[in-house]
A = this chain, B = another copy of it.
Amino acid sequence: MIATKAKRSEKTLTCKQRFLGAIENSPIDRPPVWLMRQAGRYLPAYQEVKKNFTFLEMCRRADAAAEVSIQPFDILGVDAIIVFNDILIPLEHMGQKVDFTEKGPVVAPAARNAEILAGIHRGRFDETPAVFDSIAEIRRRIGGDVPILGFAGCPFTLSAYMVEGVVSKSLRYIKELLYANPRLLEKTLDLLTETVIDYLRIQIKAGADAVQIFDTWAGELSRSDYRRFALPYQRRIIEAIQSEGTPVILYVKGSSHVIDEMKASGASVLSVDWRINLRDISNRLGEGTVLQGNLDPTVLYAPPETVRRMTQKILDDAGRRTGHIFNLGHGVLPETPVESVQALIETVKHYDYSSR
């Protein structure tokens, strides 16, 4: 019966129906697919636009942002468009400057002491921030049948950039604050939570159908620290956004030790990296848990036949007939061959739930 339903819907499902169907765990034809950092410099068409602007200008110009956001849909045929933006943009509205250098992002002044942290305020979005216009422009260009994703960083991950300035592998400064002055960190996380909720609401108002929140660095925390400094803030954001009717996807890198806490966040979808086996986690958390992931992005450096085999393995591991959004375990890496990404997407598109 599910097979019949899926067969029937195969020809009629829009990308948005497929995407939201997966999130709602309802019968669809195949898993939807999109890739974190799918709009990026591995795409020649992106480079073409990028050569005229800095990274920040791209985030600020609706035309450029919309153009590169839509490229992966046009060129690769992904099922969802994520707005071109950056998780650090809200920090610019909270009293810091963000710069994107060759070596990565730099936040200044690094809020490594109480004095600088005292100057941090809840994000002020008096004028409509650029992300609103970018999403509205994507919607105008793409129409209503393709889902648009908004996104934001989670408070712990944003606090790491805020305090470190340049994030170090050991997260020295944010952890120093966490251990030496946990209340001050909590106060900062509160401000970030309010700011992130505001920023996501702006994106939803502009037309985002779902949002992803990135707690990339929270996997560096012990389980008890995750429970105190990551989970409660994730949960507040998720509750605020989901209660208004928009699904939230929660991504954490290296989350094996906190997967139960991710589940407890109440997020509509848990986005996990390649360290987690989808079969194991599906068995453990139940088929009711919607999962996103989780191909290791370095697989895309391998020959296309390897990409197809590894993609197929993840589809089989997921063992689903719905409730799985195919993605990478982390963002697309620089110099990823476009053919590999195409091989991935074709493999997912050939997967047919009705034949399982």
Write the residues of chain A forming the contact surface with B, with a CB cutoff of 8 angstroms: 169-172, 175-176, 179-180, 219-224, 254, 256-257, 274-277, 280, 296-299, 301-303, 306, 310, 330, 333
Contacts and interface: CB of A to CB of B under 8 A. Distances in A.
Nearest to A275: B257
27 contacts: A169-B169, A170-B297, A170-B298, A170-B333, A171-B298, A172-B298, A175-B299, A176-B298, A176-B301, A179-B298, A179-B299, A179-B310, A180-B302, A180-B303, A180-B306, A219-B275, A220-B275, A221-B275, A222-B275, A222-B277, A222-B296, A223-B275, A224-B277, A254-B254, A254-B275, A256-B256, A257-B276
A219 to B, nearest CB: 8
Contacts of A179: 298-299, 301-302, 306, 310
Contacts of A169: 169
Contact of A172 (B257, B274, B301): B301
B301 A180 contact: yes
Nearest to A223: B277
Q: Which 9 A-B pairs have the closest CB atoms?
A: A179-B302, A175-B298, A256-B257, A256-B256, A176-B301, A257-B275, A222-B274, A180-B302, A179-B306
B175 A296 contact: yes
A330 B224 CA distance: 18
A280 B169 CA distance: 26
Given A170-B298, A179-B310, A254-B254, 12 more contacts: A172-B298, A172-B333, A179-B301, A179-B302, A219-B275, A222-B274, A222-B296, A223-B280, A224-B277, A256-B256, A257-B275, A257-B276
A161 to B, nearest CB: 16
A140 to B, nearest CB: 36
Nearest to A179: B302
A211 to B, nearest CB: 25
A231 to B, nearest CB: 15
Q: Which of A176, A180, A275, A276 has the largest count of B CB atoms less than 10 A from its CB?
A: A275
A254 B180 CA distance: 24
Nearest to A298: B175
A274 B303 CA distance: 36
A176 B302 contact: yes
Contacts of A277: 222-224
A287 to B, nearest CB: 21
A224 B295 CA distance: 13
A154 to B, nearest CB: 18
Nearest to A277: B223
Contacts of A275: 219-223, 254, 256-257
A257 B294 CA distance: 14
A119 to B, nearest CB: 23
A263 B306 CA distance: 30
A301 B178 CA distance: 10
Contacts of A333: 170, 172
